[in-house]
């Protein structure tokens, strides 16, 4: 996993409900409802019960916005019980409308700190066209 200094954007703790689809490390297809842990403009930290490999591609759909984006597994960041934390890079990041981001985050519990352009808005913008 890339280190903090190599990130293109800051990440902040934001839990958003998501659905992840793809093929796990054993070759089995899956669809799993889960959540983000941290989000940023270019990626996120997510929790999944499936074992995945770096460079593997998945699809992430935000249940709050119904928008989706393909993503790449950057690496496993740890585990919790029988679930795994993964760093993911969004493959379809587009321009962001700050007003929509503020509205979405206002409905979500977030820290009281400046929030960079977040994963949720990238998911929204990736499928607007």
Could you tell me if 110 and 101 are in contact, meaning their C-beta atoms sit under 8 angstroms apart? no
Q: Please tell me the predicted confidence (pLDDT) of residue 6.
A: 55
User: Which residues are 38's β-sheet partners?
Assistant: 13, 45
> What's the pLDDT at 109?
46
Q: For residues 95 and 12, which has the higher predicted lDDT (pLDDT)?
A: 12
pLDDT of residue 122: 52
Kindly state the average pLDDT of the residues 101-120: 47
Taking domain 4-126, whether its CATH number is 3.40.50.11270 is answered by no
HEC profile of 37-66:
EEECCCEEEEEECCCCCCCCEEEEEECCCC
Please report, for the chain, the start and end positions of each structural domain, with discontinuous segments joined by +.
4-126
DSSP one-letter string for 72-126: EEEEEEEEETTEEEEEEEES------HHHHHHHHHTS---SS---S-HHHHHHHH
Distance CA 4, CA 84 (A): 20
| pLDDT > 90 fraction of the chain, expressed in percent and rounded | 43
pLDDT digits 0-9 by tens, 34-93: 999 988 878 899 999 999 999 999 999 988 877 788 999 999 999 999 999 999 998 876
Query: Rounded distance, CA 111 to CA 91, Å?
Result: 26
6-37 per-position pLDDT tens digit: 555 566 788 889 999 999 999 999 999 999 99
Q: How far apart are the first and last CA of the chain?
A: 32
Q: What is the pLDDT of residues 58-69, one digit of tens each?
A: 999 988 877 788
The pLDDT assigned to 35 comes to: 94
**Which run of H or E residues covers position 18?**
strand 17-23
């Amino acid at each position: 996993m890339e280190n903090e200094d190599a990130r293109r954007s800051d990440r902040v703790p934001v839990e958003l409900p998501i659905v992840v689809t793809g093929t796990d490390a054993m070759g089995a297809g899956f669809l799993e409802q889960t959540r983000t842990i941290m989000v940023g403009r270019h990626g996120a930290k997510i929790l999944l019960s499936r074992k995945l490999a770096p460079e593997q591609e998945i699809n992430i759909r935000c249940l709050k916005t119904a928008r989706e984006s393909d993503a790449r597994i950057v690496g496993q960041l740890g585990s919790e019980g029988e679930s795994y934390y993964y760093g993911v890079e969004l493959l379809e990041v587009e321009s962001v409308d700050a007003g929509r981001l503020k509205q979405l985050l206002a409905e979500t519990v977030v820290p009281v700190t400046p929030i960079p352009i977040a994963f949720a808005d990238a998911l929204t913008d990736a499928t607007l066209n």
